[in-house]
A = this chain, B = another copy of it.
């Protein structure tokens, strides 16, 4: 910077002003400085800038699972919104381990990010509140409402109703749910399903699962081994539903003729032709945008928490159909 200043024949302060394109510099000196900077290959050191200014214009985005397209699509929305506001975004993932998430968030804090955006963080509620009380935080798909941070969630109860209504309309009464285990939104989705089933006088069949293909496949096997297997399976998310599809194919059970399958999230995967999964749509990109909006408000000083809830919508594709006539366990 000193070099640039002396080469351009101005003070360091002026160079600084030019680099931040302040209106306080004349066109001529701006030119001179820019030319000198170009010649010397000078680029401002962000660390020094942030240290001096106390602001980083950076938000950390922690994604629970980089494999799940739900999260990357959400991140895309967040990145676009951040971009419009000249915020830099840093993506990190805990790679599905709590220690990993902790490390990721701490890295953001050590960097003094202006705020953090947590997506389905697997961290405990205590840790979450702990972090949130130290810096502006917005949490997406967490289903834990706190006064310390803003949240953006999906109306899981309604989601459960949509799925059950759809399946009931098709004549199904024996519907099995594969839950997401202890993961964020797992319990909410499960409870939404149970509530909807009970309201309609139907017995909710629930088996334990997780939000990935393997767990979906394993749980599907369990369900199909019941004395009277369900005629429809509602998986906790699209990934798990895909596991179900895979397993059913292996077992020679055809979809939707023998068994209907429903997912959740409406990730790109659900729309793929050979999969064509009926699922519950979430506006992923918009989720990310809203989260950034809230975060920006928080960063600029809002103290009281805001909690947004988005309404889901059912997307019908070809993995669901009318209940089969022969209600026995279909084999081939």
- Name which of A91-99, A151-159, A168-176, A229-237 contacts chain B: A91-99
Flag A27-42 by CB within 8 Å of B: 1 or 0 each.
0000000000000010
Identify which of B67, B75, B89, B110 contacts A44 (C-beta below 8 A).
B110
Q: Are A95 and B79 also in contact (CB < 8 A) when A112-B46, A250-B273 are?
A: yes
Q: Are A213 and B275 also in contact (CB < 8 A) when A47-B47, A66-B72, A90-B90 are?
A: no
Q: A111 and B46: CB pair below 8 A?
A: yes
Flag A216-232 by CB within 8 Å of B: 1 or 0 each.
00000000000000000
Chain B residues with CB under 8 Å of A112's CB are 45-47
Identify which of B90, B134, B246 contacts A272 (C-beta below 8 A).
B246
Cα distance A242–B261 in the bound complex, in angstroms: 20
Smallest CB separation, A228 vs chain B (Å): 24
Report copies per complex.
Answer: 2
Q: A45 and B110: CB pair below 8 A?
A: yes
Residue of B with least CB distance to A44: B110
Q: A48 and B46: CB pair below 8 A?
A: no
Identify which of B80, B134, B268, B274 contacts A274 (C-beta below 8 A).
B274
A window 118-147: CB within 8 A of B: 134
A198 located at the interface, meaning its Cβ lies under 8 Å from any Cβ of chain B in the complex: no
Chain B residues with CB under 8 Å of A66's CB are 72, 75-76
A281 located at the interface, meaning its Cβ lies under 8 Å from any Cβ of chain B in the complex: no
Chain B residues with CB under 8 Å of A41's CB are 134
Chain B residues with CB under 8 Å of A268's CB are 67, 213
A245 located at the interface, meaning its Cβ lies under 8 Å from any Cβ of chain B in the complex: yes
Interface centre among A46, A73, A75, A76, by most chain B C-beta atoms within 10 angstroms, is A46
Cα distance A92–B88 in the bound complex, in angstroms: 10
Q: Are A48 and B45 also in contact (CB < 8 A) when A91-B92, A272-B213 are?
A: no
Q: A273 and B109: CB pair below 8 A?
A: no
A191 located at the interface, meaning its Cβ lies under 8 Å from any Cβ of chain B in the complex: no
Flag A56-79 by CB within 8 Å of B: 1 or 0 each.
100000000011010011011001
Smallest CB separation, A45 vs chain B (Å): 6
Chain B residues with CB under 8 Å of A247's CB are 273
Identify which of B79, B80, B107 contacts A88 (C-beta below 8 A).
B107
A43 located at the interface, meaning its Cβ lies under 8 Å from any Cβ of chain B in the complex: yes
Q: A272 and B242: CB pair below 8 A?
A: yes
A to B CB contacts below 8 Å, 7 in the list: A45-B110, A66-B75, A80-B95, A91-B92, A247-B273, A249-B273, A274-B275
